[in-house]
């Protein structure tokens, strides 16, 4: 008899619950198989994982706030680390007992984009559009990983195996960040072309922003400035050596930047906020960060934009924003010859190298984002606290792998 399985489920705006769900099978979603012309829904290329750790993400929070088209009943969770407990007959190199990080991008490894390492826009796993993820709206109907067990398809391609089990469990709070926010933050800094001596502005002191700030430090930035409205989160950024500004106080952002760098601009910038941006507390302005980063980035600079922007936002204040049409000063960016880098992070471009940085103590990502462990049953409270602005990255511990 298969072990009991539970999963976090979206129940409507502001509400999640932990509910029973069937133990996973080595099968892909039927809709995906039919629409993408798979030979069958059977998945001998897949594994089943007993989840070691799975994290609450700001992208999940967008759904839970009712700011996407996610249906009631949507399972949640795309940041997954797990132990293989069952492997399909076509899985050649991943074995039962391996502990692995799961990139949040579901990728086939066979299509043109996957072969070009653009795994965030795989062409074979989501009938609605290029790109897919576990437990996310419009991403193909794959079960979420905030659960006891989850199925991972195309396992040989997707999974990143940790080289040593004991070492992995010892460093699990750092390694759990490899499924999404550490590569995503790094992607933002890397595509912004942060390098030795760069001055960097990171918009947003949530977990992805903090990961981007820590990544900028790893890449050699001379100064990393983090902007937010939340003083607790700004204090967390200062805890690992960042400069900070409260963008809702203290005057124009250019003036606040100049007070730190001596000039009202930076070499490069990262938008780790996305479409629920605010000009000040309680005043939503979805394009404000995109316009700020253009204003303060030097001519010829680059903008990394890992912050989430959507094509469907029923909670937006105006009809244009509801379909993802924003009023950005593109002319300013053009005049300054800015390079814009957007879209889902292709996790597999970065996760192995970042794993090595963790294993050899070069990266301290868990400390940077204030990793905080809670049981799976406390996920609803974790979502509430995170929504209130807690300066924490909540890590769910569904099967007791993580020591208290």
User: Would residue 1 count as lying in a domain?
Assistant: no
CB 123 within 8 A of CB 113: yes
CB 275 within 8 A of CB 308: yes
Domain termination residue (choose one: 342, 367, 386): 342
Same domain, yes or no, for 129 and 80? yes
User: Would residue 71 count as lying in a domain?
Assistant: yes
Give me 201's structure tokens. Answer: 């502005």
Same domain, yes or no, for 122 and 203? no
User: Would residue 173 count as lying in a domain?
Assistant: yes
For residues 98 and 114, give the distance between their C-alpha atoms in angstroms, rounded to a whole number.
Answer: 24
Residue segments in the chain with a per-residue pLDDT below the cut of 70:
1-2, 404
Same domain, yes or no, for 171 and 296? no
User: Would residue 401 count as lying in a domain?
Assistant: no
Q: Which residues contact 162 (CB under 8 A, 6 or more apart)?
A: 98, 99, 100, 101, 168, 175, 355
123: domain CATH number? 3.90.180.10
216: domain CATH number? 3.40.50.720
Same domain, yes or no, for 318 and 373? no
Same domain, yes or no, for 94 and 223? no
User: Would residue 403 count as lying in a domain?
Assistant: no
Residue 148's CB: how many other CB atoms inside 10 A?
22
Please tell me the predicted confidence (pLDDT) of residue 1: 39
For residues 237 and 377, give the distance between their C-alpha atoms in angstroms, rounded to a whole number.
Answer: 29
CB 227 within 8 A of CB 210: no
Same domain, yes or no, for 312 and 386? no
User: Would residue 154 count as lying in a domain?
Assistant: yes
Domain termination residue (choose one: 342, 362, 377): 342
Domain of 194?
Answer: 181-342
By C-alpha distance, which of 22, 35, 61 is closest to 382? 61
Same domain, yes or no, for 79 and 127? yes
Same domain, yes or no, for 203 and 317? yes
Count of structural domains, the chain:
2
Please tell me the predicted confidence (pLDDT) of residue 60: 95
Same domain, yes or no, for 262 and 297? yes
Same domain, yes or no, for 60 and 191? no
Burial of residue 281 (CB within 10 Å: 0-12, 13-18, 19+) is exposed
Same domain, yes or no, for 170 and 203? no
User: Would residue 402 count as lying in a domain?
Assistant: no
- The pTM for the full model equals 0.96
Domain termination residue (choose one: 297, 313, 342): 342
How do residues 314-352 score in pLDDT, each as one tens digit? 888 889 989 889 999 999 999 999 999 999 999 999 999
Phi-psi bin for 400: left (phi > 0), alpha (psi -120 to 50), beta? left
Q: Which residues contact 268 (CB under 8 A, 6 or more apart)?
A: 192, 193, 194, 198, 199, 200, 201, 297, 301, 302, 303, 304
Same domain, yes or no, for 337 and 368? no
């Amino acid at each position: 008899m298969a072990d009991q399985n539970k999963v976090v489920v979206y129940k409507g705006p502001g509400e999640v619950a932990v509910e029973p769900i069937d133990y996973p099978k080595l099968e892909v979603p039927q809709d995906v198989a039919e629409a993408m012309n798979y030979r069958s829904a059977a998945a001998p290329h897949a594994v089943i994982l007993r989840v070691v750790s799975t994290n609450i993400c700001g992208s999940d929070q967008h759904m839970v706030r009712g700011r996407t088209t996610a249906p009631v009943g949507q399972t949640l969770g795309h940041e997954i680390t797990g132990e293989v407990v069952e492997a399909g007959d076509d899985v050649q190199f991943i074995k039962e007992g391996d502990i692995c990080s799961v990139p949040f991008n579901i990728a086939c490894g066979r299509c043109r984009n996957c072969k070009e390492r653009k795994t965030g826009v795989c062409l074979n796993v989501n009938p609605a559009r290029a790109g897919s993820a576990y437990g996310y709206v419009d991403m193909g109907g794959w079960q979420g990983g905030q659960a006891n067990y989850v199925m991972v398809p195309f396992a040989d391609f997707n999974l990143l195996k940790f080289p040593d089990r004991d070492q992995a469990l010892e460093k699990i709070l750092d390694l759990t960040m490899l499924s999404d926010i550490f590569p995503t933050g790094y992607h933002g800094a890397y595509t912004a072309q942060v390098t030795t001596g760069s001055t960097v502005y990171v918009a947003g002191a949530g977990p992805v922003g903090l990961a981007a700030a820590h990544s900028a430090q790893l890449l050699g930035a001379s100064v990393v400035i983090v902007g937010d409205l939340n003083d607790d989160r700004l204090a967390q950024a200062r805890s690992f050596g960042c400069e900070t500004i409260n963008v809702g106080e203290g005057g124009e952002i250019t003036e606040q930047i100049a007070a730190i760098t001596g000039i009202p601009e930076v070499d490069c910038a990262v938008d780790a906020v996305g479409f629920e941006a605010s000009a000040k507390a309680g005043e939503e302005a979805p394009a404000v960060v995109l316009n700020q980063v253009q204003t303060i980035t030097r001519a010829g600079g680059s903008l990394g934009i890992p912050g989430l922007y959507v094509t469907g936002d029923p909670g937006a204040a105006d009809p244009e924003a509801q379909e993802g049409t924003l009023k950005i000063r593109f002319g300013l960016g053009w005049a300054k010859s800015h390079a814009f880098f957007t879209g889902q992070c292709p996790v597999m471009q970065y996760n192995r190298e970042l794993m090595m940085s963790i294993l050899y103590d070069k990266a301290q990502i868990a400390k940077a984002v204030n990793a905080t462990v809670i049981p799976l049953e406390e996920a609803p409270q974790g979502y509430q606290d995170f929504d209130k602005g807690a300066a924490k990255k909540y890590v769910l511990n569904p099967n007791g792998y993580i020591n208290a």
